Amino acid sequence: MYRKIISFIAALVLTTSCLFAQVNIHDSTIFTPLIYATYGYQFPGGDLAKQFGSNSSIGGGFMLKTKKNWLFGAEGNFMFGQSVRNTDSLLSNISTRDGFIIDANGFYADMVYYERGFNFFAKFGKVIPLLSPNPNCGFTLVAGAGYIQDKIRIHNPGNTAPQLLGDYKKGYDRLNGGPAVTGSLGYMYLSNMRLVNFSVSFEFMQAWTTPYRKRDFDTGRQDTRKLSSQFYTFKVCWIIPLYRRAPKEFYMY
């Protein structure tokens, strides 16, 4: 199944690349698809900051840049981190007085906590060709709307603690999700020679989420709060533009 998906994406990229006429990016504004991979380092705010510290995100996206330098596309990211707050109280109802979990062998169980989540957005924006080597790149203003979800991943190496197997673990993971909007200010660089293409940006994200679990086992109640959270992200992207470069002109005398 995965091989078929990869083959389809590769064929789509090659076909799309061949559909566009040869262009000269150096002196004209062009229409081109952009495929990119992205990494971001995020700082949380609002309700999310009470549960998690800073985290990373990796992902990718696809955009169309028009001849008038408008951007339209979609992006998805996987979020991950190891800074989880309030872990001492999270499993307090199944812990010893000293805060340890006793596993099936009668030993203290090793517990590791992670942040896990994902988001995806439809995006649109504008390229402002200032301080740029050609009219197709420069400062960028981008906005978007989409969905975000995050949770606590509780990891017990070896799965020795039956208190945290299967659905029992879900009672503590604080899974939540909901709509989100995002906006960013950055700079996109598209090389005249198509050797180096990248962007850097600062992105702000606002999310409105609700808890998904019917009951949190540590409190014995359903969490009915409406959560308002923010992400402040420094992001870098590696871009592959899919245009065919015009051949160089040669003059013979």
Query: Rounded CA gap, 12 and 10, in Å?
Result: 5
User: What's the pLDDT score for residue 26?
Assistant: 82
Q: If one looks up domain 2-245 in CATH, what number appears?
A: 2.40.160.20
Query: Residue 251: what pLDDT?
Result: 44
Rg of the Cα atoms in the chain: 23
pLDDT tens digits for the chain (253 residues)? 545 544 544 444 454 444 444 567 888 899 999 999 999 999 999 999 999 999 999 999 999 999 999 999 999 999 999 999 988 889 989 999 888 999 999 999 999 999 999 999 999 999 999 999 999 999 999 999 999 999 999 999 999 999 999 899 999 999 999 999 999 999 999 998 777 999 999 999 999 999 999 999 988 899 999 999 999 999 999 999 987 665 555 444 5
User: Domains of the chain: which residue ranges?
Assistant: 2-245
Q: Which of 190, 205, 194 is nearest to 237 (CA)?
A: 190
Contacts (Cβ under 8 Å, ≥6 apart) of 53: 44, 81, 83, 84, 85
CB atoms under 10 Å from CB of 216, counted, come to 17
